[in-house]
Amino acid sequence: MAAAAPFESAPVLAVAVSGGCDSMALALLAHIWARARGGRVVALTVDHRLRPESAAEARLVRRRLQAGDIEHRILRWAGPYPTSGIQAAAREARYDLLTDWCRRHAVLHLLLAHQRDDQAETLLMRLAHGSGDDGLAAMSAVSQRDGVRLLRPLLAVPRARLIATLEKKGVAWIDDPSNADLRFERVRWRRELEVGGAVAGGFLRHALALAARAHGIARGSRDDNVAMLLAAVCPMPEGHLLLPAGLLAGSSAAVAGAVLSRCLLAVGGDTHPPQSEALMRLVAEIQEPARLRGRTLAGCRIVPWRGTVLICREPAAVPATSSIGPGSGIAWDRRFALRLAPGAVGISEVRPLGAVGQARLGPDAAARAARLPGPVRASLPALHDRRGLAAVPHLGWRRGRNGPNLLLVGWQPRHPLAPAAFRPVSGPGPAIGDSCFTAPADYLE
């Protein structure tokens, strides 16, 4: 935990607990750590409601944690449930529920139970998908999402030690059947690591964790250079970025790629950065401005605009409709925080402004819109009621004098433009003599 400092006095920690061995061990260890400092832990279990027994399992987790004097909350996913990519959708919903709870309860730190085996599997998956240097650093010990610090204090610890900890303390856990389902890519890589047996698999996991740490150290150093360049990027309230035309000239491909990756994540809101090959093509074009004619990547449009490089949302990637009501708030298009006043009766939807909406603006709002780049105008949030377009907050336009009042409208990207620097794991732990296995003599040579 010292690597994730600083912490407030009497720290309050949220811990994501699925009920498996990793997260149960993390909840136990975090409880001991926080209590010794006058703080407390709140365990959060997300019930995805994808299996009939999930609700009963969440209640079982609650009873086991409460028996150890650990506070517990159950968060339920209400859908919608996709017909494909269910694991990725469930992961996004889980993070949204966890970080939303933390924000609402003013809890800054959310602990996640990823451990050394997960780190090794992550590196293998990213190698297979052609990730660049940043991706090969795997998971950071500290990161940020939606204004919450995500801490992974167990990245140097093998799963076998966590199991041994629970067994020593007499704490039971739940084995999720999805962790053995070969339809999922991570499970298939996990199976590959197990093919050679405990000894070979243990050494391979250790080697992969060491490789991820080496990439992480390099990434942490590179992040300092990236932060200096990002300080020159101009974020605009309409949700786009302006880069000075020569900003990346002379930078290494790795540093320039990291700058662009951060920009694309902030504007497009994707979970992961774009793949290395496409990103490097974009770097080459921006470093030679005469070559840049405009392209789309990661849900963004990248075009030259008035002596700068404009990165804005791709209008076609914006969701067609999102529901909103009086007194409620939403995170729209993974970019904007919108909250309506309780008296804004009749408003039911947020849509991108588009060409049709622009045609309905009054002259003053149309003049303000004309000063914005075309794709930025098209992707602005617009409030609708049963009569159609009711308000465009960024343009100061409302239909009539009694149009809807907003309590909040602001660009609040899921990924901050300049997040905390990557923090590599302090060390993946000893490979020989740990509780995973005992190495035979020939491995020592």
pLDDT at 439: 36
Q: How far is CA 56 from the centre of its chain?
A: 28
- The closest alpha carbon to 268, from 296, 309, 234, belongs to 296
- The closest alpha carbon to 214, from 280, 137, 328, 329, belongs to 137
- Six-digit token string for 398: 């409302």
- Six-digit token string for 118: 């997960």
- Six-digit token string for 301: 């449009």
pLDDT at 425: 76
Alpha carbon distance, N-terminus to C-terminus of the chain: 34
pLDDT at 1: 93
Give, for 377, the enclosing helix (H) or strand (E): helix 374-378
pLDDT at 438: 38
Parallel, antiparallel, or unpaired for β 322-323 and 329-332? Answer: unpaired
Residues 49/36, Cβ–Cβ less than 8 Å: no
For residue 197, give every residue at least 6 positions away whose Cβ sits within 8 Å of its Cβ, in sequence order, or none.
none
- Residues (pLDDT < 70) of the chain are 195-201, 401-407, 426-445
- Ordered DSSP codes for 150-200: EE-TTTTS-HHHHHHHHHHHT------GGGG-TTSHHHHHHHHHHTTHHHH
Alpha-carbon span 47 to 148, nearest angstrom: 21
Q: What pLDDT digit, counting tens, does each position of 291-325 carry?
A: 888 899 999 999 999 999 999 999 999 988 999 98
